[in-house]
Structure 1
Amino acid sequence: MAQTKVHRKKRQVTILIIWMILWEVGSESIQYSVLEETESGTFVANLTKDLGLKRGELAERGAQVVFKGNRQHLQLDPQTYDLLLNEKLDREELCGSTEPCVLPFQVLLENPLQFFQAALRVRDINDHAPEFPTREMLLKISEITTPGKLFPLKMAQDLDAGSNGLQSYIISSNPHFHVLTRNRSDGRKFPELVLDKALDREEQPELRLTLTALDGGSPPRSGTTEIQILVLDINDNAPEFAQEQYEAQIPENNSLGSLIITVSARDLDAGSFGEVSYALFQVDDINQPFEINAITGEIRLRKTLDFEEFQSYHVDIEATDGGGLSGKCSLVIKVLDVNDNTPELTMSSLTSPIPENLPDIIVAVFSVSDADSGQNQQIVCSIDDNLPFLLRPSVENFYTLVTEGALDRESQAEYNITITVTDLGTPRLKTQHNITVTVSDVNDNAPAFSQTTYTLRVRENNSPALYLVVALASVSSLFLFSVLVFVAVRLCRRSRAASAGRCSGPEGHFPGHLVDVSGAGTLSQSYQYEGIGKEMEESPMVRDSFLFS
């Protein structure tokens, strides 16, 4: 079968990938739950039962478990096709402080193609204790400070989430202070020290207290730090910031050292008591990518930002005067996404070779993703022009590559297909994936003669070894050709002409002396037209097979 070349427009399938869960019509997500740190190979679920399938159907239909990216947290038992843990899961590594920690995945059945949405929730265990950034804090408080004054303290960090995370602070028993547990705008808890009774430097110039952070596990875990309080002589005014909270925005690709914002505080005192220096309050925060100029209050970038890792930062800033009094403000920095992640293509299934005579065959199943957000996350998928294939969007971010119609192996036995995945950000980033698909042959061509009628003219008295004609029949599907050799007749030797007389005509359909048993395809003897030509014309068998003129 010969295929007509048709100019086709380039086919593009555009999908706006928004990172929210899109469920397949008529189906609901199946939810599973495991504790973090559970051993690899632990049974999670009976997929055959949960999906309502027949026993053995998962194996017959080529079931796969597909997670986003290259991580494969679950596996299918090769014998029972039960769902098992593929590795120990660390909730803090997978989700950080996000709660609940949910890992979406799909169960893919290849033949026929079908998707099932599912999700694995990783439940937290209390495997981390709260931890302060330093073993000791230093506070300088004037003896004239009135009771009720609040003193923010550095908070502890607990990698666990939910009830296993940090819940409260307590302080060792003393007559001057108690501690409050406060919530920041990002949900983290920090301690504030409250002055209950006025200090007297002459009576007690220094105090030492123990601050304890407690989580909500059972039993609870805790972490401690020491607070050293120095009682200062009179310094009437503490520094005050122009704003209690600053806000700034910064693109994630800003260069190191770039200026983000400048904060300002002033102190009404004179001399050294009125000189202000700046510092980041939680300077030991492991996620802190900023630094502040102690004199000018300029905040600059010291580490590369990544919007996909952190979208915002909450920074506490402290201003301290020469007498040790301090003031505090907060800074919320929002990170702006730029298009710095190329789209990813994950091939789930590829079928090659494919038969030439069947249309609408699923050649490949793959998924696409982009770690960016908004416009930078929108994706266009396309294949090359003039290919007999189509891209079809399936569930969520999956595509199938199918044949547009029946193929013709005799016209083209192999296709090199380039799948291009491009995002819509600025600048546009793209990924290309090349696959090779071969076409298998089926017996769809019958042998055919090059023409239906052959006309032969033979001169009388030809010399021996004369070849008459060769007719070729071509078999396109098997690349064979058949050769029909009309058996020639050898001319009688002239030396025997007198004794043999006239050559007799053919007897029956094909007389024996027409056959050259040597297979050379030559005349077995010389003939005169008057003797045999007319008889061959009049023979029904010969006349039906050949047309003489």
Structure 2
Amino acid sequence: MDDLPFLLKSSLENFYTLVTEGPLDRESRAEYNITITFTDLGTPRLKTQLNITVTVSDVNDNAPAFSQTSYTLRVRENNSPALHIGSVSATDRDSGANAQVTYSLLPPHDPQLPLGSLVSINADNGQLFALRSLDFEALQAFEFRVGAADRGSPALSSQALVRVLVADANDNAPFVLYPLQNGSAPCTELVPRAAEAGYLVAKVVAVDGDSGQNAWLSYQLLKATEPGLFGVWAHNGEVRTARPLSERDAVKHRLLVLVRDHGEPPLSASVTLHVLLVDGFSQPYLPLPDAAVAEARADPLTVYLVVALASVSSLFLFSVLVFVAVQLCRRRRAASGGGCSVPEGPFPGHLVDFSGAGTLSHSYQYEVCLRGGSGTGEFKFLKPIMPNFQGHSSGPAEENPNFGFSIQ
């Protein structure tokens, strides 16, 4: 029984007991084959042997142990639900029910992590099935702990950390930040005609929600009003003049720029730039873009109606003023009593008399009507005193002294 943790102990003559010398560990050795030899003291000595098999029974003295203290699993975004993303494994050195392991998800440290809606674990084999499609842009990584417990009494358990990394897929097209493409009036870039080759016209700014090469962007000029006049730098989106401008170049230019990522397959977006060539930034007038001109001419009927309304209003106001002036004139004449003083003396002047003979008259007569009680001699109205055609003769103009004007 050399090197065996057993000992024969005699309590009575020819009576022996097999006892252990120390604790037995079933996980180190579960069975012992012992041969006991008995020898007498005679001559010759006779002996006999006894074979004993000792089986060490198990007790639940070992907790389950994971193959790794932490696991890192990777899953591609936009995965199908119930996708197997990986497994954890734990073993127990005990036997029987003491070695049967069950797996479970432990509550996460972050209470805001909806772990129950993200992953599940098979209690029997430790397989981890994602419960829903994962989005890299919303959740790039998350971690949780899994537990493994045996079925002994009392049950022993252990735990391990699981970290899930969501791999990016090229599911986001580039998004253009500038110039804005929101359907409003287009933004026009002004370029002086004195610009030399390499003049910076504009810079297309775009972003991609993906990562890695899926977010690497390149720029390309797809279409231009005048090919060869402008160019786009592939890596930074800068739009520059490719040659000096000339007077023969058109005033307005439209550029179509393509922005593409490096994913597989690549996704792209396009942006339109409007460029206006000007003689200088200080010129007082710049032609309107086509959209603004179209908007200004969209409803000429409204302009006509406004003009017509203004004309009618002005005519009505003028008529009212004339009517008021006439009424005031009549009231003033009525208040003055119609009295007029007519000077007897002739007023010479250089007026033409068409009294019938066609000759120049040498005498004129004015009728002065003064406002009664005014005390002033200001003239109010001027009216001609028609000649007396009674007894009209075809004589010279001097014979018709009654032709003239009166101030009233």
Question: Same fold judged by TM-score > 0.5?
Answer: no
Look at both structures and tell me which one has the larger radius of gyration over its CA atoms: 2
Q: Which structure has more RCO (C-alpha within 8 Å, separation ≥ 6)?
A: 1
Name the one with the larger helix percent.
Answer: 2
TM-score, structure 1 normalization: 0.33
Name the one with the larger strand percent.
Answer: 1
